[in-house]
Chains A and B, each alone.
Chain A
Amino acid sequence: MALFTRTVRAPLEYSKSLWMRGWVTMVMLFLYIPLFVLMAFSFNDSKRNVVWRGFTTKYYGVAWENDQLWNAMMNSLTIAFFATIFSLVIGSMAAVMLWRFRFPLKSAVDGTMSLPIIVPEICLGVAFLVFFSTVGWPTGLGWPFNLGAIIIAHVTFCFPFVTMVVRARLATFNREQEEAAKDLGAGEWQAFRDVLIPHIKPALVSGALLAFTLSLDDFVITFFTSTPGTDTFPVLVYSLVKRGVTPDVNAASTILILFTVLLTAIALKLQGAKALASTHS
């Protein structure tokens, strides 16, 4: 009961006050109860998600056998994988460009490159729908080339986030290190690879994680760029929520939530909670 006993506190120990604790507890309950209910219902022995009818794990088996679910999951992961790699490369290039060089129209370029972060998802989604149908993007290609359009769309909104994170890290780079490397005979490329890249490595890791989650999470932009057969997991869940959800989707969602927890744990291990929080603001 230590949570509710009142102790004498120093002026700044706000977190020890009762109402503050109550408030935080309520907020956490608000954030987590729905997720726990969802996970609990994945073990519910009923076709509908309303009343508890006893424990079962059979829906994990059903989810395992569900081809539609597998396809959507594989599509999501494939898209996220490629989008992360492209975003990482393009995003870091843009960061180095904006950090190192002075060139005409620089502030305009800088602003334009961060626009995809600000422009509402719906507008970006609509723009890709219009773009791909106007240029006549080929459809009906074999896997994974049919995912090309979605990957391109995801790279466009993910790479500015990578640029942001990498640029923040570059600001702490001491350029004398690079000069020293060059004085000692390193070429431009070698200095880049052996001095700059190791310095920005933490930012590359957090940028990659950010891009991966953003891509995996995206619904709106994918919804506008997906064609039959390229449904991602969020698009599938969306159509199921509209038509009625089967419990195996709860099972798949539970697995995805656990996967998210795992990813977050890895990110924490690599960076610490504080650094991770600062990448979001």
Chain B
Amino acid sequence: MAEQDWKQQKRPFAAVATVPLFWTLIFFLIPMGFVWFYSFGRNVGLTEIDIVGTLDNYKRATEWLYLGIFLKSLAVAALVTLICLIVGFPVAMAITFASEKWRPWLLLGIMLPFWTNLLIRTYALMIVMGQQGYANSGLGALWNGASWLKTLVGLQPLSTWEPLPLLYNNFAVVVGLVYVHLPFMVLPLYSALDRLDKSLIEASLDLGAGHLKTLFKVVVPLAAPGIIAGVMITLIPALGAYLTPDLMGGTDSQMIANVIERQFKRANDWPFGAALSFLLIYVMFALIAMQGLRKKTGEVR
């Protein structure tokens, strides 16, 4: 069905277009524009900012200190995405091939955390991972069990269990981000696997390929769009994560979003914070453009 030309339908077009266009302009483009302009500005006095067209803020943002935080955020986000993919893929497979009775329940199991408040989830994880939390006491019980088993076979028992510092470090940030983003990964993987023609897998198995070979040669290539969607949907929010590193990280685990927040609150250096925000946005654009490029080359092949 062809689209209608707006000129022939001016009144209906105006009726549906005016509000969304104005809203996007006033409450999205203009605020972003302010930040963009401020990124070329300079602090004069406590609250005043002069837009002088300087590139100093960007120069400072590419200093090693901040570049390092950028790279670290990228590395953390990439690691989190990889873990989510490895952990989530079998879950998506299990949901796809589950019986009719089980599938809705498994889906629900993945979706409920997705809908649960992010702050509540983070805080709940912090209770479990605390110094005296259940993760530590569980590990302690395992340790003592192993120690007891060793004495049973006549060996020296292990040294006494010291609670691990599970919270307030980089490890906690990665676990927290995986915890938060896992459902984001599983759902697009599932919808890609669900669309896949199962007879292709059967054919591959019939023709003598093993399960692993079928997985990597048939399932993964066919589910590639879903895998890429899952990767993007996890990578992008993980890269801009503020809450998890702030609450669960230590002094050395701040990510780029925490640095940006500090410029706008405590450090009160809006122009520099604005420059950092726009650098983060440019990195996102680059990631999305890379995905678009991949799609195009895929189509050509």
Enumerate chain A interface residues (CB-CB to B < 8 A).
11-15, 20-21, 23-24, 27-28, 30-35, 37-38, 41, 49-51, 89-91, 93-94, 96-97, 99-103, 109, 112-113, 115-116, 118-123, 126-131, 134, 152-153, 155-156, 159, 163, 175, 188, 213, 216-217, 219-220, 224, 233-234, 237-238, 241-242, 245, 253, 256-257, 260-261, 263-264, 268, 272-274, 276-278, 280-281
Contacts and interface: CB of A to CB of B under 8 A. Distances in A.
B236 A37 contact: no
Nearest to A102: B3
B282 to A, nearest CB: 11
A130 B270 contact: yes
B270 A273 contact: no
Contacts, number: 269
A120 B261 contact: no
A156 B26 CA distance: 10
A26 to B, nearest CB: 9
Contacts of A130: 31, 34-35, 38, 270, 274
Instruction: Classify the secondary structure of A's interface with B.
Output: helix
Interface stretch (B52-60, B61-69, B123-131, B145-153): B123-131
Interface string B69-96: 0000000000000000001101101110
A120 to B, nearest CB: 3
Given A37-B124, A93-B16, A116-B28, A277 B277 contact: no
A253 B235 CA distance: 28
Interface residues of B, number: 103
Nearest to B248: A241
Given A15-B94, A50-B130, A130-B270, A213 B191 contact: no
Nearest to B113: A31
B44 interface: no
B134 interface: yes
A234 B11 CA distance: 42
Contact of A127 (B15, B32, B115): B32
B187 A280 contact: yes
B179 A31 contact: yes
